[in-house]
Structures are given as C-alpha cells and as structure tokens.
Amino acid sequence: MAAISDSFTHLTIDARGVARLTLDRPEVHNAFDDALIKELNAHLERLHALAERSEVRVVVLGSDGKHFSAGADLNGMKRMVDFSFDDNLKDARELARLMQKLDALPCPTLCRVQGAAYGGAVGLAACCDVVIASDKARFCLSEVRIGLSPAVISPYVQRAIGPRQMRRYALTAEVIDAATAQALGLVHEVADGEALDARIDQMIDQLLAASPQAQRATKALLARIARDPDSDATVDATCRTISELRVSREGQEGLAAFFDKRPPAWQRMGGANGDQDGNTDNKESRS
C-alpha cells in the first residue's frame, strides 16, 4: 500500500487502486485553511494522473475525528480580516481550484460523511459522485450567518439539490439533517453510524466491479451532457462514446465475459485492466 502523510491530510492507495484521501485536523473539526487546501490540491493533481492510467480506480474522501469538516478555519478567517481584495481573490481561487479538481477526477469518487459538514465541506460532498452519510451527519450552508456567501461552492451544491432548494438553504443557513439531505439529493445513502464503514466498503466493491475505462468515459460524457444537453455535438458525443467503447479492449473483454459467464479481467486482477490511458485502441497495460 502506498501512503503519503502531510501536515493536515493523508493519502493511501491499496493494491486494488482504492485511494483514501483523508482530512486529518480533528482538533479543529477538520476545518479548512490555506494549508489544508494546498495539500488537498496537490493530492488531487496526483490522483488525477493516476486515475487516467487506471492505477487509481476509486477515491474515497473522508476525515478523521467526530466531524467531517466544520468548513472555514476560524483562525484563518481572523487573518483574512486584514487581507486586501486581491489577497481574498487569490484565496477564493484556490478553494475554487479544489472544487474543480475534485469534481473533475476521472474515476468515481465516494464521500464518507460523519458528524458535521458545514460551509465548504458541503461543497466537497456535492463534488463527489456518491455520498454516504452517517445518520448523525448534519449539513449547513452557514456562510450568511457571518455576512458571507457560499459563493465558490454554489455551482456544485445547486447542481446537487436544485436552484429552488438552494435558495432556501443558502439564505436561511438552516441545519439539514441526514434524512433531509438525502431527500434533497445531496446525500445518496444514510447509514447507521456503526455501519457507515461497512457500507462504504460495499460501495467500493460495487464501483470496482465496473470497467475503469467505461467509468471514465461515462463520467466525462455526463459532465458534457450537464453543460450542453441538447446540442447536435452532444448527441454525436453520445454516439461516439458507445461506439468507441464497443470496439475497445475493455469493451470487448466485458462483452466476452458476459457471454462466457465469467468475471471480466479487471475483476480477476482485483483492479485495473485494459486501456489504462483512456484511449480506445488496443494498447497493452497493467496497473
């Protein structure tokens, strides 16, 4: 297992290609500051490259301690009181870069939420493909309470819960319990606290059963559809995606395995297989 530990985060990647990116500031409830954001951005750059090669199949975003994340760090916010506009703009752009990188990871992303997820932490959850939360989890777009706005995370949270609900919760800063978060679409599943990790592991197995190339292609296609659902170019992209996958190594292997009633190669290898660079030619590769 590969492992990288920084001051406020740690990253592990197991033999299956499951990466666990963990916030590790439990003494301040995993609150964000510029140092934590910098570490997360560096990890996400690394994970993006590994995911493109299928060396990483799934990324699990989580945190140590009682709470997922309390949002912005109070000490950092005190320092920012004296920041200029340009300094604040630079800080906001780093947070925006974090959200963009997480949202655009080529492989599936799974968010594990326990306890509180406030402010920017709601954005982290909204950027992930699957969110599983403890029944004790609580979410809050708390920014307006202190005269701010959930500005940088708003595109991702609004995409998850819709503009009508976003207006309510961004303006009221109400605390959202786990069941309501699931009803809104922010959370996919709610698990009993003691069963949370078992359910995370089950979802990892579910994601690993699929073709890594097909998952990358599907995730990229869905992002395009969200941006431009009705254009002729998007229709053409849907046709090209399925056609390219059908003639690709992994597509051929998946179909053959289905008809032969056997597991496909990427399952037998316990991880990645096939066209690891995301192309649909017949390159030989290993994870």
Q: Note if the pTM is more than 0.85.
A: yes
Q: Which of 270, 259, 157, 172 is nearest to 212 (CA)?
A: 270
| Residue 278 banded pLDDT, cuts 50, 70, 90 | very low
Residues 235-261: tens digit of each pLDDT: 999 999 999 999 999 999 999 999 999
E strands, the chain, are 2-5, 9-13, 18-23, 58-63, 109-113, 116-118, 130-134, 138-140, 175-177, 189-191
Residues 137-174: tens digit of each pLDDT: 999 999 999 999 999 999 999 999 999 999 999 999 99
C-alpha span between 250 and 44 (Å, rounded): 26
Least confident window among 46-50, 71-75, 92-96:
71-75
